[in-house]
C-alpha cells in the first residue's frame, strides 16, 4: 500500500522551500535509484550531484543559453520554467548514460535498452524522494544546453536528464491522465 500511496501522491514540484536536505537523505535516494532494474544489469546510469555554487553555475549556464536562443529567435519551449525550477531547488541531480558515447558497436537497441534502464532509475529516484518527504521534477529541457553542460563538467558520457529536488513549497492538483482503457489493447 505504501508504494501505491507514494505513486498516487507524487506530482512534479517546481517550487521548493529554502531548506537543506540532509546528506543521509540524498545518499538513501541515490542508493535506491541504483536498485532499479536494467537491461543485462548494465546499470548505465551515472549521477552528478549539484548543490550551492555548482548548482548556481548550472543555472547561469542555462540562462545564458536561453538568452542566446531568444536573441536568435529560436524556440525555447518550457526552458525558462525549467531554469526557474532548477534555480529554486536546493539539489539538482544530473543523470548520464555511461555507454552511449563510448561503447563500440553501440546500436539503436542498446540505446533504447539503456535509456529505459536510466528512466527506471529516475522513476525510482523520484518515488524514493516522494516517500522521504521531498518533491522533485524530472527535467529534459537540459537538452538545450547539453554540450555546454558536458564541457563545463568535462564529461564524455551522454546527458539524459536532470532532476530538481527539495522540500515542496506547493501542492499542485494532479495533472490529467488518459484512462488506462484509452491506452491499452487487452487481447484474449
- Given the rule CB under 6 A, which residues bind ligand FMN? 11-12, 14, 78, 81-82, 85, 137-141, 175
CA atoms within 13 A on the CB side of 166: 24
What's phi and psi for 40, nearest 5 deg? 55, 20
Q: Crossing angle, helix 108-131 and helix 2-9, to 10 degrees?
A: 100
Residue 88, number of CB atoms within 10 A of its CB? 19
- Closer residue to ligand FMN in complex, CB, 27/178: 178
Bridge partners of 97, per DSSP, are 45, 158
Instruction: Report, in Å, the least distance between residue 123 CB and ligand FMN.
Output: 8
- Closer residue to ligand FMN in complex, CB, 20/81: 81
Instruction: Report, in Å, the least distance between residue 137 CB and ligand FMN.
Output: 5
- Closer residue to ligand FMN in complex, CB, 20/140: 140
Instruction: Report, in Å, the least distance between residue 62 CB and ligand FMN.
Output: 11
Amino acid at each position: 500500500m505504501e508504494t501505491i500511496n507514494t505513486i498516487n501522491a507524487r506530482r512534479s514540484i517546481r517550487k521548493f522551500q529554502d531548506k537543506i536536505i540532509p546528506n543521509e537523505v540524498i545518499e538513501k535516494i541515490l542508493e535506491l535509484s541504483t536498485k532499479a532494474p536494467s537491461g543485462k544489469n548494465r546499470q548505465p546510469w551515472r549521477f552528478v550531484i549539484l548543490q550551492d555554487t555548482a548548482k548556481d553555475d548550472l543555472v547561469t549556464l542555462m540562462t545564458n543559453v536561453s538568452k542566446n536562443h531568444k536573441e536568435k529567435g529560436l524556440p525555447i519551449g518550457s526552458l525558462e520554467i525549467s531554469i526557474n525550477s532548477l534555480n529554486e531547488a536546493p539539489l539538482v541531480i544530473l543523470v548520464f548514460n555511461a555507454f552511449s558515447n563510448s561503447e563500440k558497436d553501440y546500436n539503436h537497441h542498446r540505446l533504447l535498452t539503456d535509456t529505459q534502464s536510466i528512466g527506471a532509475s529516475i522513476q525510482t529516484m523520484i518515488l524514493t524522494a516522494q516517500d522521504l518527504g521531498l518533491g522533485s521534477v524530472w527535467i529534459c529541457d537540459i537538452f538545450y544546453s547539453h554540450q555546454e553542460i558536458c564541457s563545463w563538467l568535462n564529461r564524455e558520457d551522454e546527458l539524459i536528464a536532470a532532476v530538481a529536488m527539495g522540500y515542496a513549497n506547493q501542492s499542485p492538483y494532479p495533472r490529467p491522465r488518459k484512462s488506462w482503457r484509452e491506452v491499452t489493447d487487452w487481447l484474449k
